[in-house]
Amino acid sequence: MKGRQVTIKDIAAELGISASTVSRALKDHPDISVETKKAVNELAEKLNYKPNVLALSLRQSRSKIIGVIIPELIHHFFSSVISGIDDLAYANGYSVMIAQSNESFEREVNETQVMLSSRVAGVLVSVSKKTKNFEHFQVLEDNGIPVVFFDRVSKEMKMDKVVVDDFDGAFKAVDYLIKTGCKRIAHYGTSMHLLIGKNRHNGYLHALFKNNIPIDDSLIFKCDDYDEAWYLTEKLIKSGNMPDGIFAVNDITAIGALQAVKHLGLRVPEDISIVGFTNGRISTMSDPPLTTIEQHGYEMGQIAVRILLNRLEKDEEEHEPETRVIKTDLIVRESTKQI
Amino acid sequence: MKGRQVTIKDIAAELGISASTVSRALKDHPDISVETKKAVNELAEKLNYKPNVLALSLRQSRSKIIGVIIPELIHHFFSSVISGIDDLAYANGYSVMIAQSNESFEREVNETQVMLSSRVAGVLVSVSKKTKNFEHFQVLEDNGIPVVFFDRVSKEMKMDKVVVDDFDGAFKAVDYLIKTGCKRIAHYGTSMHLLIGKNRHNGYLHALFKNNIPIDDSLIFKCDDYDEAWYLTEKLIKSGNMPDGIFAVNDITAIGALQAVKHLGLRVPEDISIVGFTNGRISTMSDPPLTTIEQHGYEMGQIAVRILLNRLEKDEEEHEPETRVIKTDLIVRESTKQI
DNA sequence: AACGTCATCGCAAACGTTTGCGAAATTCCC
DNA sequence: GGGAATTTCGCAAACGTTTGCGATGACGTT
């Protein structure tokens, strides 16, 4: 019952041989006779021996754990990414340690300390909204722990990144709105110090520009969650400054706007068209279903892992930071008009 | 740059004292003089020393990692649970290692091996739909790794569990449907070998019974996802065997049914009332918003951690498995009629 | 018979930390 | 000032594993 776990020594003792021999036998070292190997393997099987990865990691001072730091777990996009991370990590014999910062800078810093303490092989991170300083990640790199950022990244960090083509995605969304007849398109965006905020904003501007639509600052807002969107949309409509299209930085915000529009007795898309960003599960559940941008979270997770594993293999020599950009797709549903 | 990490020995060498002294100084052992402590702590700070938890875990053969095995990450309920787990684990100095089984029995078994290898302190698990055999979890217990199950549990396992009061939740849902005038209530349920499937089913039956409504087997189905629900609902309505209420085993299924009903030109809740289970994010996003059962995933995660930590503290002596039941709440929205 | 060649295995150190025990050095007490 | 008590620290072992090196025998070769 309540037992210690079986070790190599237990096997060695029971067989009357040394621990080294058992170790070598288990990994099919040529120095060991077939009979010994057979005996060792059989006993290991019988005792349900599992190598102690702690000891292993300690020995070669590198663990098979990938650390992941994200702002929030309860979020379709992030859980997609983690799912991609977990699947590929698992396929390569790595385990995944997660830590959510809950959008708190202090906790994010603390989590990097934990990663350091745990001697993880590498860290994948999407920074919190409050993070404007990246020293704690540099510390990881300085201690030999490679860091790969995904989605929420910043320009100033000279490290590996994998991001979605936010500019192009936003452009596609807004361009589509225009092509379906919208002329007064509002943008609900997130913090501009996050690249994703800035890039989506710029994509929005670029689409207007390309289509010769003047920029109207009274239609551009910092607004990135459900309740905010509801409130803002209601205010906007009642104020008389009503847009005929809304491009929101994510699906939740888009749906908040959508609900508010319907609540006021207006129709989507006839009166106001709406486009979100992410293509999460909810985008098919709203009424009407949401036109949005597919962000390929699962693939993003996988790519991040692949970049990390690559770095871990050829770990020496100076390394030139790489930025991978994932293309988005416009998913047309019924919250926008026909083209 | 590309450095090894700082160890206790580095500090000891630089200060010309022994590693033991540094170790004791760092944890404020009374045997060490104040000046030494001061010197050690300052240097540790300066060098950014972080204890190597691998070595620590190896030493006392127990790590500060909680393993979590779940069927699917991309799922509002499960990510809520993990979020609760992570927050409480973090507060108690533990890290969280996740592993998704993707509803595969083989992978679930493999993940338990990994947990064993990693010498995690304990494991929290929600079993896959395919799991009908629980030996792999018994192996964990036999090796001194406590296991706590949550949500998806089975009767035959004699271990700690934390579940939602599925019976009562289902009862509340169906009872409410009846009170609002429904007479022909369909049930879309999940596998009966999962306790949650059976209990919700029984809660459904009990509500019918209490209200003297005969059970109609032609209204009971195994159907637990979006597409299935859409298809089944459409078939059901067209076949003329139309229910006036639907109680679904989760929100996604409920919304699938809701969409199908609307698609056929019928109204929710006037023609058919619908109740889901979970109260996930999507339940507020549908049109009309979904009446559902709040399942308290975040709290469930926290309770699971608390049970585990309790066991880890007084780890000796035989332990009587405990089952914690979390009460549900009926959340009334607009997919049901007024009472 | 003397030597080299293999095949097979064990010793011991190392990874970073903790901790019981003992060893100095200092202080105290009478 | 002699002994005891106290303070402050170091030694070494241990956790489980890997691995360079050396050891032991059994052979085969001259």
**Beta bridge mates, B96:** A98, B66
CA B256 – CA B276 distance, rounded (Å): 10
Q: Give the SS3 label for residue B288.
A: coil
Considering only the beta carbons, identify the residue of A1, A83, A142 that sits closest to B142: A1
CA dihedral B161, B164, B170, B172 (to 10 degrees): 140
- Number of neighbours of residue A43 by Cβ within 10 angstroms: 18
CA B35 – CA A49 distance, rounded (Å): 47
Q: Name residues whose C-beta falls within 8 Å of residue A84's C-beta, 6 or more positions apart in sequence.
A: A297, A298, A299, A300, A301, A302, A304, A305
- Give pLDDT, residue B2: 47
CA A77 – CA A82 distance, rounded (Å): 9
Percent of chain A with pLDDT over 90: 85
Name the stretches of chain B with pLDDT < 50.
Answer: 1-2
The band of A267, judged by pLDDT with boundaries at 50, 70 and 90, is: very high
Q: For A30 and C4, how far is CA from C1' in angstroms?
A: 21
Q: Which nucleotide's C1' sits nearest to the alpha carbon of A10? A: D16
CA A329 – CA B319 distance, rounded (Å): 54
What tens digit of pLDDT does each residue of A49-63 get? 999 999 999 998 889
Does A107 have pLDDT greater than 70? yes
What is the Cβ-side half-sphere exposure of residue A285, based on CA atoms within 13 angstroms?
A: 27
Q: CB–CB of B100 and A87 under 8 A?
A: yes
Residue with tokens 């991370």: A85
Q: For B37 and C28, how far is CA from C1' in angstroms?
A: 25
Handedness of CA B247, B251, B257, B259 (dihedral sign): positive
Helix or strand (DSSP H, E) at B98:
strand B95-100
- Give pLDDT, residue B226: 93
| Domain B65-163+297-325 bears CATH identifier 3.30.1360.230 | no
Does A124 have pLDDT greater than 60? yes
Q: For B8 and C24, how far is CA from C1' in angstroms?
A: 24
User: In the 22-61 stretch of chain A, whose C-beta falls under 7 Å of nucleic acid strand C?
Assistant: 30-36, 55, 58-59, 61
Does A2 have pLDDT greater than 50? no
Backbone angles phi, psi at A292, to 5 degrees: -155, 180
A1: which chain B residues are within 8 Å (Cβ-Cβ)? 141-142
Whether the Cβ atoms of residue A248 and residue A220 lie closer than 8 Å to each other: no
Distance from CA of B215 to the nearest CA of A (A): 31
Mutate to test the interface with A, among B79, B284, B298, B317 (most CBs of A within 10 A): B79
- Give pLDDT, residue A317: 61
**Nearest C-alpha neighbor of B200 from the set B230, B174, B226:** B174
Q: CB–CB of B285 and A286 under 8 A?
A: yes
Residue B101 forms contact with A (CB below 8 Å): no
The CATH label, of 3.90.1300.10, 3.40.50.2300, 3.20.20.190, 3.10.450.350, for the domain at A65-163+297-326 is: 3.40.50.2300
What tens digit of pLDDT does each residue of A210-240 get? 999 999 999 999 999 999 999 999 999 999 8
Whether the Cβ atoms of residue B236 and residue B243 lie closer than 8 Å to each other: yes
B118: which chain A residues are within 8 Å (Cβ-Cβ)? 53-54, 95
- Give pLDDT, residue A278: 94
- Give pLDDT, residue A126: 97
CA B85 – CA B99 distance, rounded (Å): 14
CA A122 – CA A116 distance, rounded (Å): 9
Pair of tokens at residue A134: 């990246």
Residue A90 forms contact with B (CB below 8 Å): yes
CA B235 – CA A279 distance, rounded (Å): 28
Residue with tokens 């009166």: A271
CA A250 – CA A276 distance, rounded (Å): 5
**Residues carrying CATH 3.40.50.2300, chain A:** 65-163+297-326, 166-295
Helix residue ranges, H only, chain A:
8-15, 19-26, 34-47, 53-59, 76-91, 105-117, 135-142, 166-179, 195-210, 226-238, 251-263, 297-313
Pair of tokens at residue B40: 């050690």
- Give pLDDT, residue B313: 82
B124: which chain A residues are within 8 Å (Cβ-Cβ)? none
CA B315 – CA B12 distance, rounded (Å): 35
3-state helix, strand, coil in chain A (%, to 5): 45, 15, 40
* Residue B15 Cβ < 7 Å to strand C: no
Backbone angles phi, psi at B140, to 5 degrees: -60, -50
Q: What is the mean pLDDT of residues A69-77?
A: 94
| Domain B166-295 bears CATH identifier 3.40.50.150 | no
**Residues carrying CATH 3.40.50.2300, chain B:** 65-163+297-325, 166-295
Residue A108 forms contact with B (CB below 8 Å): no
CA A87 – CA B85 distance, rounded (Å): 21
Pair of tokens at residue A9: 């020594």
Residue of A nearest to B114 (CA): A95
B48 φψ region: left (φ > 0), alpha (ψ -120 to 50), beta (else): left
* Residue B314 Cβ < 7 Å to strand C: no
The band of A1, judged by pLDDT with boundaries at 50, 70 and 90, is: very low
What tens digit of pLDDT does each residue of B23-57 get? 999 999 888 989 999 999 999 999 999 999 999 99
Distance from CA of B258 to the nearest CA of A (A): 9
A173 to A189, A294, B245: CA distances (angstroms): 13, 11, 39
